[in-house]
Amino acid sequence: MKTSSQLLLTFLLNAVWQIALVAALASFSAWLLRNSAARYLHWVWVSALLLSIGIPVITASRVLRESPGTISATEIPRANELTIEPLIPVEGSVSQTLPSTDVFLLSPMVGLILLGVCFGVVIYSSFRLCKAWLVTGRLRRSAVDLVSDKRVAGVVQLCTEALETDQRIRVCSSDHVPVPITIGVVTPMIILPDELLGDPSDELLTSAIGHELIHVRRRDYALNLIYEFLYLPLSFHPAAALIRRRIRQTRELSCDELVAERILNADVYARSLVQLASSAPTLGRLSVTTTVGIADADILEARIMSLLKKSKMDTRRKRMILIAVSLLLLIPCLGAASFAMKFDLKPTETTMAVQEPSQQQKQRADEEKVMTMRARTGSSEERENELRMETDPKYREEVIAKQELEFKMRAVRQAALVKVARINMDQAIQIATSQKPGKVLQCSLDAEHWKEPGVLAEDGLVFYRVILVANDEVETGAVTHVWVNAVDGSVIRTEKELPRKVRLPE
């Protein structure tokens, strides 16, 4: 649950600024290419959509890759012989996993609201896409083949020869569509409105069929479905909606250019386009269907101006601008992908209080049981040492002097260890519990291979030793020792310690 919430929040909150950055870069790139072919503009916005989904996914996936629980066995350094000093108890609730310091913590209420709003928008967009798919299916079933229409067959043949394509296409008619549309991935279908077939102008029919044939040749229907699915997880962002709209608009501009180059004169096609687009509904048709067609874009004036103007950009300048646009899109986006901010829900003081009282009592009883079993193993040795200290003053002085020396040496070593350690004790506990979930009993910072007091040798290893009770071993009294590298956070090794049996006197 913790990893999933951190993953979703990291994806969502990084996507907010990353998608806005991509949209801004794409807008500037489109401005640089304003005098070039529309197909270049189209691929700029398609690239922007791919970057908008790819960069947040890469950023969020770093949370999984950097998760301590995902460290592979080949990455775990091994310690030879570890000398462990007496351990420092962990204060507070030892069963709580603490977050890393490089994670931005959000209030649980704020995080849940953000995730709820995001999921609500995505679910609503998914519902609209499913509804559009059903409407498209009804349009397909209502279409009537125009196999016997010689006029339509002649126009189709003329357009296919001009486009140099031999793909099999079904041309149908329907009274449910106001403008020509294209449907189908494997077997494309062009559906013409009944009113268009009744128009005596061959130029109008040629413009409509030619435009839809170019959609078929470019496989725009299949690509449009892919773009819609990519847009779904980004539908909460206004900049993603802008990118999606620009893809539709530049797609129609690209088709218009090809019609004017291959099939009809630009002036003739522009007049036909005005007449065809005037019959389109006022509201956006693609909000209720998944088809592609001549009236997809709401930029009729821009389409007419694009047909009538002539590009004056030479080939060398165009090539330089294309290279500059590619670098402009890729370099900042790669930088944005590497700059990953991680987010998670802030732990609350009432996290443990939400458990049932019986469960809390059981946890306390389990902890007391384990501590009692561990205390029994060392009770006999402690009694012998205490008895000797009471009866032997010289031994007592030696023990006190040894304890004072050990205390001073430990202070020197601890000061040196704190300087070397890159992760804190809370992070070490989090790494250990991710490797072996359970209740933490003790944790200490130590090292091996000292050159002299307070100075580590070249092969010295600084580590945290975490002692915990695994969730599935509470009844047995066994404890698990986890050694965590204090520099890179890797798990050095994990060992299980079984309770020693106390031999009763005969």
Structural domain contains residue 106? no
- Could you tell me the pLDDT band of residue 75, with boundaries at 50, 70 and 90? very low
| Mean pLDDT (whole number) for 79-99 | 39
For the purposes of burial, counting CB atoms within 10 Å of the CB of 347, is it exposed (0-12), middle (13-18) or buried (19 or more)?
middle
What pLDDT digit, counting tens, does each position of 95-112 carry? 333 344 456 777 778 878
343 within 8 A of 104, measured Cβ to Cβ: yes
- Which DSSP string do the residues of 307-371 spell out, in sequence order? HHS-----HHHHHHHHHHHHHHHHHHHHHHHH---EEEEPP-TTTTTTS-HHHHHHHHHHHHHHH
Q: Rank 107-121, 156-170, 214-228, 404-418 by mean pLDDT and report only the highest.
A: 214-228
The span from the CA of 3 to the CA of 452, in Å, is: 42
Q: 281 and 145 in one domain?
A: yes
Q: Cβ distance 343 to 9 under 8 Å?
A: yes
Comparison of pLDDT for 381 and 107, the residue scoring more? 107
* Same domain, yes or no: 159 and 266: yes
440 and 491 housed in the same domain? yes
Average pLDDT over residues 26-34: 90
Q: CA 263 to CA 161: how far, in whole Å?
A: 9
Question: What distance in Å separates the CA atoms of residue 478 and residue 496, rounded to the nearest whole number?
Answer: 7
214 and 268 both lie in a single domain: yes
Which residues does residue 467 pair with via DSSP β-bridges, in sequence order? 442, 481
pLDDT band at 46 (very low <50, low <70, confident <90, very high): very high
CA dihedral for 306, 309, 315, 320, sign (positive or negative): negative
Counting beta carbons within 10 angstroms of the beta carbon of residue 131, is it exposed (0 to 12), middle (13 to 18) or buried (19 or more)?
Answer: middle
Quick one: 177 and 270 in the same domain?
yes
Say yes or no to pLDDT of 88 above 90.
Answer: no
Round to whole Å and give the CA distance between 358 and 498: 27
- Dist CA 432 CA 468 (whole Å): 9
CATH number, residue 364: 3.10.450.40
Structural domain contains residue 233: yes
User: Is the pLDDT confidence value at 35 over 90?
Assistant: no
Out of 63-67, 74-78, 225-229, 286-290, give the one with best mean pLDDT. Answer: 225-229
> Are 292 and 324 found together in one domain?
no
Q: How far apart are CA 334 and CA 477, in angstroms?
A: 51
Give the model's confidence band at 381: pLDDT under 50 very low, under 70 low, under 90 confident, else very high. Answer: low
Contact 79, 22 (CB under 8 A): no
Q: Which amino acid is at 152?
A: V
Task: Identify whether 107 is part of a domain.
Answer: no
Give the pLDDT score at 96. 39
Give the separation between CA 177 and CA 179, rounded to whole angstroms: 6
Q: Give me the number of domains the chain comprises.
A: 3
pLDDT at 364: 63
Asked if residue 449 has pLDDT above 90, the reply is no
The answer to whether 168 and 187 have CB atoms below 8 angstroms apart is yes
| Residue predicted with more confidence, 426 or 314 | 426
Q: How far does Cα 263 stand from its chain's mean position?
A: 44
Query: 281-339, pLDDT tens digit by residue?
Result: 544 444 456 777 777 777 888 888 888 876 666 667 777 888 888 888 888 887 877 77
Task: Say whether both 435 and 322 belong to one domain.
Answer: no
For residues 174 and 92, state if they share a domain: no
Region 253-263: mean pLDDT is 90
* Residue 491, pLDDT score: 87
Rounded Cα gap, residues 90 and 443, in angstroms? 6
In a domain, 482, yes or no: yes
Q: Is residue 180 part of a domain?
A: yes
Nearest to 160 by CA among 214, 118, 239: 214
Q: Is the Cβ–Cβ distance between 437 and 470 less than 8 Å?
A: yes
The predicted structure's pLDDT at residue 81: 37
Helix (H) or strand (E) holding 488: none
pLDDT attached to residue 358: 53
Position 428 in a domain: yes
Q: Which one, of 178, 136, 426, 92, lies nearest residue 288 by Cα?
A: 136
Tell me whether residue 165 is in a domain: yes
Shared-domain flag, residues 288 and 318: no
Tell whether 131 and 278 lie within a shared domain: yes
Q: How confident is the model at residue 250 (pLDDT cuts 50, 70, 90)?
A: very high
Banded pLDDT at 376 (limits 50, 70, 90): low
User: Residues 96, 231: one domain?
Assistant: no
Mean of the per-residue pLDDT values of the chain: 78
Residue range 141-148: mean pLDDT, rounded:
87
Q: How confident is the model at residue 380 (pLDDT cuts 50, 70, 90)?
A: low
Retrieve residue 237's tokens. 């962002």
Is 402 domain-assigned?
Answer: no
Count CB neighbours of 94 within 10 A: 19
Domain of residue 441, residue span = 74-101+360-382+409-497
Burial class (CB in 10 A: 0-12, 13-18, 19+), 322: middle
For the segment 208-228, the average pLDDT, to the nearest whole number, is 92
Q: Is the pTM of this model over 0.75?
A: no
Does 291 lie in the same domain as 184?
yes
